[in-house]
Amino acid sequence: MLHAPDGTLTINQSGTYLEKQFHHSLNRAFNPHRATQCQSVIISFANTEFDTSNLEEQASQALQIVEGYVHKYFGEAQSVSAVQADGNGGRLHVHLIINAVKTNGKTIATNRFSVFKMRRNFNDYLNDNFERITGRQWHNPFDKANSRADLNRLSNRSKWQEQLRRTIDLVKAKVDNAKEFLTKLSQYGITVTERQHGKSWTYHGSIKTTTGTKKISARDFYQRVDKKTGQVLTTRGLGQNYTKQNLTSYWQNQRNKQKEEQPLPVIPQRHKRKEADNNVRNKENEREQLVKIKTRAAEARAQIQHQRELNRINLRELNAAKAEEQRQQRQTQRKAGQTNRQLSNRKHTQSIANQERLKERAKQLLRAKQQIAKSSRSKDAGPDL
């Protein structure tokens, strides 16, 4: 934060500068886009703690207390605190912003920002340091030993809770499910809302006080337990018997008891004989149906076996027909080959015969020509002298 020349914090701070400082640590986190980037807390002091009679001194003391608390419980993270005394009540209060990311880039566990835990730690710090800082003694308003501001109203609240328990005990015995239970309660002016996603209930009603009618509510049952030690810190509510789970179990047990205690119907003797005869006939019918089913199953198996045998026979005949067809095709092919060879041989023989005839014819023609030529030469020569 910005400081004055004398080393003290200046009252003039730059919001842009502080935002950049916060985001500088955020960018070092494993997930810079995490949803919870910082936690905003308002610490309001009671008038008995700071009455604002000396506002400047008390504001400084309030800041010193808050900064000491933050340094003790959140010293590893950046924080910004601003004190104010505005508002309707004019109470002194401090606005506190704590960076959810430490300066080393690690994040602060979310459970450390629990309201109950922070309030308990802050009260412990006030108990140890309030007198040292302010010079006045501090009394814890949440200490059971101290008087409570609403002590005068506890009797009325207690009476209402006792009446509520008696009403619930009366209504739960008349119904057997949650829907009828809630409807019946509404007739007595009691409404119920659900908590923890429908697992728990909160009962609502109203009481008459000196100042008028006041709305009031009570949980079914709630315990705050220390996670480290397991010690029960506080217990609130009507009791475990008035939770949604226990009431549902109660109605289920009642229904089971009614089923177990319900007597068996008395059956006359003749009805018993008739029922026995019916049972015998039913058993005989069942046996007949079983025999029929077995017979049908056997017939189905025989039919399937017969069909399989026919399929095998048809397959053999088909294979034989294919083999015969292939044999005939081969014979036809062989015959066709022999015929082609015979035709070729016949053609060859005819060709040779034709050649012989042509040769013989040529010889005959040659001899005829020779004879004609010889006759011509004899005529030309004439008779010998």
Q: For 74-175, where are the alpha helices, taking DSSP H only?
A: 115-134, 154-172
In this prediction, residue 34 carries a pLDDT of: 67
pLDDT in tens, 294-308: 888 888 888 898 888
pLDDT in tens, 325-372: 888 888 888 888 878 777 777 777 778 888 888 888 888 888 888 888
Q: Where are the domains of the chain?
A: 15-134, 154-261, 264-344
Contacting residues for 213 by C-beta, under 8 A, at least 6 apart: 206, 207
User: Is the per-residue pLDDT at 154 higher than 50?
Assistant: no
Report the interhelical angle of 244-261 vs 154-172 (nearest 10°): 30
Give me the DSSP letters along 20-52: HHHHHHHTTSS-TT-S--EEEEEEE--TTT--S
Distances (CA, A) of 46 to 40, 57, 139, 209, 264: 20, 16, 11, 26, 71
Three-state secondary-structure class, residue 96: strand
User: Is the per-residue pLDDT at 376 higher than 60?
Assistant: yes
Q: How far apart are CA 370 and CA 378, in angstroms?
A: 13
* 131-151: average pLDDT: 69
Q: How far apart are CA 302 and CA 70, in angstroms?
A: 92
Pick the CATH number of 15-134 from 3.30.300, 3.40.50, 3.10.450, 3.30.160: 3.30.300
* 22-31: average pLDDT: 71
User: Is the per-residue pLDDT at 194 higher than 60?
Assistant: yes
In this prediction, residue 269 carries a pLDDT of: 61
Report the chain's C-alpha Rg in angstroms: 59
In this prediction, residue 67 carries a pLDDT of: 93
Q: Which residue has the higher pLDDT, 39 or 27?
A: 39
Percent of the chain, pLDDT > 70? 88
pLDDT in tens, 47-92: 889 988 888 899 999 999 999 999 999 998 888 888 988 766 678 9
* 215-235: average pLDDT: 84
Q: SS in 3 state form for 189-219?
A: CCEEEEECCCCEEEEEEEEEECCEEEEEEEE
Read off the pLDDT band of 383 (50, 70, 90): low
Percent of the chain, pLDDT > 90? 13
- In this prediction the pTM is 0.38
Looking at residue 141, the DSSP 8-state letter turns out to be T
Read off the pLDDT band of 151 (50, 70, 90): very low
Which has the closest alpha carbon to 244: 188, 189, 185?
Answer: 185
Average pLDDT, the chain: 82
User: Is the per-residue pLDDT at 384 higher than 70?
Assistant: no
